[in-house]
Amino acid sequence: MNFSRLLKTTSALTSRWLCSGRFQSTSAAAQKLVDVSVDSKTGVSIVSLNRKPVNSLSLELFKEFCGVMDDLESEKVRGMILKSSCDNVFSSGLDITELYPHPDEDRFHAFWLWFQETWIKLYGSSFPTVAFINGHAPAGGCVLAISCEYRIMLPYYKIGLNEAPVGIVAPDWVVNSLKSVLASRKAEQLLTSGRLLDTQEAFDIGLIDKIVNNEEEALARSEEFFSTFDNVPKLARALTKQQVRKNEISKLIKNRSNDAKLFLNHILRPETQKIIGSYFKSLKDRKK
Ligand SMILES: CCCCCCCC/C=C\C=C\CC(=O)SCCNC(=O)CCNC(=O)[C@H](O)C(C)(C)COP(=O)(O)OP(=O)(O)OC[C@H]1O[C@@H](n2cnc3c(N)ncnc32)[C@H](O)[C@@H]1OP(=O)(O)O
């Protein structure tokens, strides 16, 4: 099966979940969780995550984001910049309330499939993608950033994969996305320590590509990146990117339901619930 068809294909079980109207946000019409605008100078789409206060990643946000990615694919956009509308936070990662306390199993299954779908669409997109990391990007926030092709970050924020200290083990598709950016040894150090790096450290190890001081500079640096493809036929670029990324994506597509089951079992374990619970409490207590 060719890769474009594989991207559109998923198991019957997965399709049933992804297509079902269950877990529809009642306020979806009232509040957009993902905003899209177009930079009139460059024709590039700017996609802003807009789930206040910290862009924690919920099932509803994933669904909306996937819809936006489908639109951008069919409009054949020149490129996309992913950023945040929240002050100081790009994304705070998975919404912990989707994981704790003891999530509803059906909702959690759907939540995980939509997280996978988000990664498949972002990592496998045909158009060039830039993450403008305009705030902290821990855990799932970092996963979004490393799924893009190029990363530009404002100073003094933190980025990394701090799953291990939260009692969560990263699946191979997340590990391999990180290894597509960093050498294996650096990726392992970052994952096993769960350390969050500041902008300068992230730049020094190659986790991000550029440091900028403001949005204007970010747009200029993004444009430099997009223009490196101006003389490359769109289709050839897209197929080449997918050629590089297809093994990881194909592996997940064939294993989606199992990956969801594994994660659910892991999350439901009393020890995992306990660790996530005390982590969440410490997050809340920080402000007291
Ligand atoms: C077989 C096993 C397979 C395992 C597969 C594993 C898959 C691995 C792949 C990805 C996994 C990802 C896991 C996650 O993403 S878990 C989430 C991890 N996130 C974090 O650790 C970040 C936590 N948040 C923070 O550190 C800060 O909030 C920060 C982002 C730095 C922003 O700080 P600040 O601006 O000071 O804002 P507050 O801390 O006051 O936050 C405002 C309110 O938002 C709540 N909050 C923050 N983050 C989350 C979150 N992720 N989920 C839910 N809620 C969150 C916070 O508690 C505040 O609430 P309140 O106002 O009520 O106090």
- What pLDDT does residue 29 have? 53
Residue 288 in contact with ligand 1 by CB distance below 6 A: no
Q: How far is the CA of 6 from the centre of ligand 1 (A)?
A: 33
Cα–Cα dist 188/254, whole Å: 25
Looking at residue 224, its pLDDT comes to 98
pLDDT at 26: 46
Q: Give the Å distance between the CA of 40 and the centre of ligand 1.
A: 34
Task: Say if residues 120 and 249 touch (Cβ distance below 8 Å).
Answer: yes
| Residues near 153 by beta carbon (within 8 Å), at least 6 away in sequence | 132, 133, 134, 137, 159, 199, 202, 203, 208, 210, 211, 212
pTM here is 0.94
Largest CA distance in the chain: 56
Catalytic residues: 94, 140, 162-163
The residue to mutate among 51, 54, 109, having the most atoms of ligand 1 within 8 angstroms of its beta carbon, is 54
Q: What is the pLDDT of residue 163?
A: 87
Smallest CA separation from ligand 1 atom 29, residue? 92
pLDDT at 41: 85
Taking the centre of ligand 1 as the mean of its atom positions, its distance from the CA of residue 280, in whole angstroms, is: 8
Supply the ipTM of this predicted assembly.
0.93
For residue 168, the model assigns a pLDDT of 81
- Please identify, by atom number, the ligand 1 atom nearest to the C-alpha of residue 94: 15
Nearest ligand 1 atom to the CA of 280 is 57
Amino acid 4: pLDDT: 58
What are the sequence ranges of the domains in the chain?
3-219+233-285
- Cβ-contact 173, 193 below 8 angstroms: no
Nearest-atom number in ligand 1 for the CA of 171 is 5
- Whole-number pLDDT of residue 10: 58
Residue type, 158: K
Mutate which of 88, 92, 108, 142 for ligand 1? The one with the most ligand atoms within 8 Å of its CB, which is 92
pLDDT (tens place) for every residue of the chain, 288 residues total = 455 555 665 545 466 657 666 665 545 455 899 999 998 889 899 999 999 999 999 999 999 999 999 999 999 999 999 999 999 999 999 999 999 999 999 999 999 999 999 999 999 999 999 999 999 999 999 999 999 999 999 999 999 999 887 778 899 999 999 999 999 999 999 999 999 999 999 999 999 999 999 999 999 999 999 999 999 999 999 999 999 999 999 999 999 999 999 999 999 999 999 999 999 999 999 877
Distance CA 22, CA 24 (A): 5
**3-219+233-285 CATH pick, 1.20.1250.20, 3.40.640.10, 3.20.20.140, 3.90.226.10:** 3.90.226.10
- Fill in the amino acid letter for 21: G
Instruction: Report the pLDDT value the prediction gives residue 157, as an integer from 0 to 100.
Output: 98
Q: Is any atom of ligand 1 closer than 6 Å to the C-beta of 287?
A: yes
Tens-place pLDDT, residues 153-173: 999 999 999 988 777 889 999
Among protein residues, the one whose CA lies closest to atom 62 of ligand 1: 284
As beta bridge partners, residue 260 has none
Q: What distances in angstroms separate CA 89 from CA 2, 84, 110, 154, 284, one per listed residue?
A: 38, 7, 25, 11, 16
Atom of ligand 1 nearest to the CA of 162: 21
pLDDT of residue 8: 62
